[in-house]
């Protein structure tokens, strides 16, 4: 059955913008799927380190798709995309060229050893709640039963998350499925 799925992406090493852009491009090419929206990009301070913006800072965003791909197959595909973009399997928690997470799979809840949906940390991570709120602020978290807007209002303000400005004028910014920047 076709479901609306939100996938979070993040990169904190190398050409972060290019890794995000490539990931979004590949997610737009999934079979039996349609790309519904792409958020703007957000920069997040690494949790244990007060580095300057740029190096070490995470670049994050969210993609919304509609798909017939099952959650398990989607996870396999995301791992494959991570691998193809050079993520180092042996140092998974270290610097990452790209991290792809299934945030929500419709209203389904999944609790298996290698797949937990909704993603267990979605509800307090502003770097996912902010891009999610651009795409669908009224989406209801199937476990917490609160909208994205409500969760965002309740989330801790630290670490700092800021909109990447200016947004890139690359393929990323010109993609027709991209959500529009908020008005003035």
Closest by CA to 40, choosing from 64, 14, 15, is 64
Q: How far apart are CA 99 and CA 174, in angstroms?
A: 23
> Does 87 participate in catalysis according to the annotation?
yes
Site residues (CB under 5 A) for Mg ion, limited to 100-119: 101
Determine which residue in the list 102, 132, 148, 151 makes contact with ligand ADP, applying CB under 6 A: 102
3-state secondary structure (DSSP) of residue 100: strand
Check binding of 92 to ligand ADP (CB under 6 A): yes
Q: How far apart are CA 150 and CA 123, in angstroms?
A: 10
Give me the catalytic one of 16, 22, 96, 125: 96
Check binding of 45 to Mg ion (CB under 5 A): no
Stretch that binds ligand ADP, among 40-48, 93-101, 125-133, 163-171 (CB under 6 A): 93-101
Q: Which helix (H) or strand (E) holds 171?
A: helix 171-174
| Alpha helices for 9-68 (secondary structure H) | 16-27
Check binding of 114 to ligand ADP (CB under 6 A): yes
Q: Is 145 left (phi over 0), alpha (psi -120 to 50) or beta?
A: left
The residue count for binding ligand ADP (CB under 6 A) is 11
The least CB distance from residue 65 to ligand ADP, in Å, is 14
Q: Residues in the site for ligand ADP, rule: CB under 6 A?
A: 75, 92-93, 99, 101-102, 114-117, 119
């Amino acid at each position: 059955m076709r479901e609306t799925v939100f996938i979070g992406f993040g990169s904190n090493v190398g050409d972060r913008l290019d890794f995000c852009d490539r990931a979004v491009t590949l997610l737009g090419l999934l079979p039996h799927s349609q790309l519904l929206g792409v958020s703007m990009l957000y920069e997040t301070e690494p949790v244990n380190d007060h580095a300057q913006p740029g190096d070490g800072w995470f670049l994050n965003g969210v993609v919304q798709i509609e798909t017939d791909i099952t959650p398990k197959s989607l996870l396999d595909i995301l791992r494959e995309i991570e691998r193809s973009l050079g993520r180092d399997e042996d140092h998974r928690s270290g610097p990452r060229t790209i991290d792809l997470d299934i945030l929500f799979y419709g209203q389904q809840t999944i609790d298996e050893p290698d797949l937990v949906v909704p993603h267990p940390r979605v509800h307090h991570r502003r770097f996912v709640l902010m891009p999610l709120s651009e795409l669908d602020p009224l989406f209801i978290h199937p476990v917490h039963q609160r909208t994205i807007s409500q969760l965002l209002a309740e989330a801790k303000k630290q670490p700092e998350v800021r909109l990447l400005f200016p947004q890139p004028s690359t393929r990323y910014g010109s993609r027709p499925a991209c959500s529009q920047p908020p008005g003035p």
